[in-house]
Amino acid sequence: MSAVILQVGQCGNQLGLEWWRLITNKPSRRKKRCPFSSRNGQLSAVCVDTEPKVLRQAQEFVKNNKFRQSNIIEGKGGRGGNWAFGYHGGPAKCETGLLDQTMEAVRQEAERQDYYGGTVLFHSLSGGTGSGLGSMLCEKIRDAFPTSHFLSVSVVPHQSGESPLQHYNTLLSLSSLHGCADGVLLFYNDQALSRRRLSTRSSDTLSDMNSNIVSSLAGLLLPVQSLTTRSGWSLGSEPWELIRSVCPVPSAKLLYTTQNSSSERLHWDSLVGGTLQSLPQLSPVGKHYSSRALLAVARGDEDVSFISSKVLQRLKQGHGCVQWNPFPVDHWTDPLNDLGDSPSSRLLTVCSNHSSVSGLLNRVLQHSTEMLRARVYLHWYQ
């Protein structure tokens, strides 16, 4: 109805498929249509990768008539974990047509929507396809649909060990996204891993980390009563209202997300405390971080206690909201928590325009600068 989900690269497709499994398998007490589908009920997903391995998992959705076969776009050569190779493409004819096939699939999906609000990109900042081809697609979609929105769901690699080119790729990808995306939801592999360990105290798998990220995404992007019409229909505007709420300054669009849940009807103040514990407070030099704006999404607020409590004031103080923004805190509520395992469960997801992203930028810039001065791996980008 509103958004086209574009999955690019191995990480983007693994994350996207986990997202669709959550959307389609989670029992819902709502009778309305999924906002991420077209008129005939098929999901508005475009899956693209330069290697066919991950895309084979998407065939289960094709067999169940959830995905269109024409929206599964695969290459044969890979991108070697190189942003430049992913951005400019390979010399083979089949590889140069990958970008055109993807843009045609996005265009057709946009035309199938009742109302096309924009595109949500799932990708990684470190891989060649996710970072390079994802950057190129972001720029092309911005040119093709200049009045639509573009929200990026970007997975930040571990601080070390994923790829020798990850710092170059992250820097180049963030530079491209900063120029053409309206908002960038950053999810850190290191933090997803640590949160998973704290919640389960068991061994971790890639699927577990993806589930952690997808849960935060669902808390933000699934329909809420605050944004539905009187008839109960969801317009699927949550991704675009999210941008409006947390990006008051167009040049500041890198977003941080925390989440806390309870299987019982726990007081909202306790859930707020859990989200603030996951929020970085001090920079390496001891300076307090701040937030330009934040959005709190409360699911399971059947007794309407979220607004009547003082949690919004506590969130404002805990995030160190700037004084120049007169309305830094926005909130959405929904009486149901479709993501919970019990009817009494509650879920609080907070997205903030938080200055702790400076830690990521400084780290990536420092590593990239050191590698550039030593002329390390530069021949891979020529």
The CATH code that applies to domain 256-355 is: 3.30.1330.20
pLDDT digit string (tens) for 260-293? Answer: 999 888 889 999 999 999 999 998 888 999 999 9
Query: Has residue 101 got a pLDDT over 70?
Result: yes
Percent pLDDT > 90 in the chain is 67
In this model, does residue 198 exceed pLDDT 60?
A: no
SS3 category, 369: helix
**Residues paired with residue 8 on neighbouring β-strands, in sequence order:** 48
Letter string b/e over residues 52-80, b meaning 16 or more CB atoms within 10 A of that residue's CB: eebbeebeebbeeebbbeebbbbbeebbb
Q: How far is CA 160 from CA 86, 156, 164, 190, in A?
A: 21, 11, 8, 10
Beta bridge partners of 295: 330, 351
- Interval 108-116 mean pLDDT: 90
Q: Which of 322, 271, 277, 327 is nearest to 298 (CA)?
A: 271
Give me the DSSP letters along 216-254.
HHHHHHS--GGGB-TTS-B---HHHHHHHHH-SSTT--E
> What are 9-63's pLDDT values in tens digits?
999 999 999 999 998 887 665 556 677 888 788 999 999 999 888 999 999 999 9
How does pLDDT run across 345-365, given as a tens digit for each residue?
999 999 999 999 999 999 999
Tokens representing 340? 């919970």
End-to-end distance of the chain based on CA atoms, in angstroms?
42
Q: What is the mean pLDDT of residues 104-120?
A: 93
Question: What is the token pair recorded at 307?
Answer: 């607004």
pLDDT at 327 over 90: yes
State residue 201's pLDDT score.
47
pLDDT value for 204: 56
- Are the CB atoms for 241 and 183 separated by under 8 Å? no
Q: How many other CB atoms sit within 10 Å of the CB of residue 42?
A: 18
Contact between residue 293 and residue 325 where contact means Cβ atoms under 8 Å apart: yes
| pLDDT-derived band at 194, boundaries 50, 70, 90 | low
Asked, colleague to colleague, whether 3-246 and 256-355 share their fold, the answer is no
Q: Would you kindly state where each structural domain of the chain is located, as residue ranges? A: 3-246, 256-355
Q: Output the CATH code of domain 3-246.
A: 3.40.50.1440
Average pLDDT, the chain: 89
Confidence category of residue 127, pLDDT binned at 50, 70, 90: confident
